[in-house]
Amino acid sequence: MDISKSIKLFEEGKKYIPGGVNSPVRAFKSVGGNPVFMARGEGSKLFDVDGNEYIDYIGSWGPHIFGHNPPFIKEAVLKALENGSSFGAPTEMEVEMAKLITSLVPSIEMVRMVNSGTEATMSAVRVARGYTNREKIIKFEGCYHGHADFFLIKAGSGALTFGQPDSPGVTKGTANDTLIARYNDLDSVIELVKQNKGEIAALILEPVVGNMGVVIPTEDFMNGLREICTKEGIVFIFDEVMTGFRLAQGGAQEVFGITPDMTTFGKIIGGGLPVGAFGGKREIMEKLAPMGPVYQAGTLSGNPLAMAAGFAALTHIKENPGIYDLLEEKTDRLETGFRENLEKLGKAYRINRIGSMISMFFTEQPVYDLESAMKSDTALYAKFFHGMLDRGIYLPPAQFESWFLSTALTDDDIERTIKAHYEALS
Ligand code: KE4
């Protein structure tokens, strides 16, 4: 496959942009080779600068649940643009967006718009600390909540792939207030709560992990966390940046029937434009400026252009609940095809899937937390990744990521992917 323009652009880009990319995972560091530079997305396909076509299973890391550039989002954005992009003043669309979010996610009584998932999770922790007047937080090793300092302690996703559980630049003082538990291990949480009685403001987790690759919680684990947080007065934060509007209209909390105290969103909520949001109980959210003392702000928060894209995406979700059955059907077919391939090839690599989030781990042991995920052979993943890329299938360039399917994937796309999967593993 000719990727000469991508190679040239990468060389050029590295002179001006650290690593030639604006987000580390895009640099292909953990799979090797030259990243392909994309020129256009349409439906289930991406087209690179050399004109090569790919079936896309990243979907911009989650936002494109309807595929690239769906007409109803494009039209909404172009229409909004007629009136301007951003005013730095309140607009009707922001009120409508907040009402729509609260109608889709019952646990959200009030919500604040921001510009990324990182801003959402960072702000949710700050308001939880302000509300409880406590300083410590619990997060889980392998979970990634964006790049705010207090999360980059055994972060998953990029930092995990680079094998640096702690990121340079995070101060010891910051790290002291972040307690690390093990996913699917309630005892590790009970232990931390015992050691830090009355000092923990919040517990934050990915209700389904995407950033170790897909890792699914047990029911006991989730119910146990809810009980502990209720008993200890700890703010229970669901980081649904990935799972929100992805697993169901009401996200993972609808799937598991768990009510968190706060929820963070990103990705799908912006319809492909930069939008994040955090919300939850009124009594917590009312602590936020200008109502309360906890400060949080943003020049472009809730800007009309991004709201138009997000509102179009969430309205489509509200009006078409059947998309989740369609996504289930497509992803189930993909998984079944993969399992048949593995059977034929005599390989027992682990596939974890929930809804349209799926990962295949190059380990034959079950994957249910960071330690078990790390048993995966990342060199084998890299070989598989390139085998798929050479066959026109665009997967996450790292073992510790979720694939995302879209409603735009055709039966032919899925069958081609299953065939490529067999060949790339042979
Ligand atoms: P952003 O700041 O990247 O919008 O969101 C941070 C974030 C927060 N919480 C969860 C559960 C997330 O998955 C993310 C971001 N996800 C990564 C994918 N592993 C984004 C891709 C990237 O970093 O380039």
Q: What confidence score (pLDDT) does residue 164 get?
A: 44
Contact partners, residue 378, CB within 8 Å, separation at least 6: 30, 161, 362, 399
Segment 158-167, tens digit of pLDDT: 443 433 446 7
Ligand 1 near 157 CB (within 6 A): yes
Per-residue pLDDT, averaged over 20-45, amounts to: 98
Domain that holds residue 155: 71-319
CB contact set of 11 (below 8 Å; sequence gap of 6+): 20
Structural domains of the chain, count: 2
- Tell me, yes or no, whether 59 and 190 share the same domain: no
d(CA 66, CA 407): 5
Asked whether residue 325 is assigned to any structural domain, the reply reads no
Q: How far apart are CA 98 and CA 111, in angstroms?
A: 6
Pick the catalytic residue: 56, 239, 261, 369? 239
Q: Which residue in the list 45, 136, 154, 267 is annotated as catalytic?
A: 267
Model confidence over 67-84: pLDDT tens digits?
Answer: 999 999 999 999 999 999
Q: Which of 61, 206, 238 to mutate to test the pocket of ligand 1 (most atoms within 8 A of CB)?
A: 61
Is the CB of residue 25 below 6 angstroms from any atom belonging to ligand 1? yes
Tell me the CA–centroid distance for residue 55 and ligand 1, in Å.
Answer: 22
How much is the average pLDDT of 183-205?
Answer: 95
CATH number at residue 192: 3.40.640.10
- Report yes or no on 324 lying in a domain: no
Helix (H) or strand (E) holding 328: helix 323-345
Is any ligand 1 atom within 6 A of the Cβ of residue 239?
yes
Instruction: Please check whether residues 311 and 395 belong to one and the same domain.
Output: no
Do 34 and 158 have their domain in common? Answer: no
Q: Cα(42) to centroid of ligand 1, in Å?
A: 23
Report the alpha-carbon distance of residue 74 to residue 243 in Å, rounded: 23
Q: Are 303 and 89 spatial neighbours (Cβ–Cβ below 8 Å)?
A: no
Mean per-residue pLDDT of the chain: 96
Distance, CA of 284 to CA of 123 (rounded, Å) = 12
201-226 mean pLDDT: 98
Q: Each residue of 105-146: pLDDT tens digit?
A: 999 999 999 999 999 999 999 999 999 999 999 999 999 999
CATH of the domain at 344: 3.90.1150.10
Residue 251 has pLDDT above 70, yes or no: yes
Model pLDDT, residue 284:
98
Q: Which of 54, 57, 131, 144 is catalytic?
A: 144
Does the active-site annotation cover 239? Answer: yes
Judge whether 122 lies within some domain. yes
**C-alpha of residue 209 to centroid of ligand 1, in Å:** 11
Task: Measure the CA–CA gap between 40 and 67, rounded to whole angstroms.
Answer: 12
**Would residue 267 show up in a list of annotated catalytic residues for this protein?**
yes
Fill in the DSSP letter of residue 47.
E
- Judged against a pLDDT cut of 90, whether residue 174 lies above it is answered with no
57 and 75 assigned to the same domain: no
Residues 77 and 17 in one domain: no
pTM for this prediction: 0.97
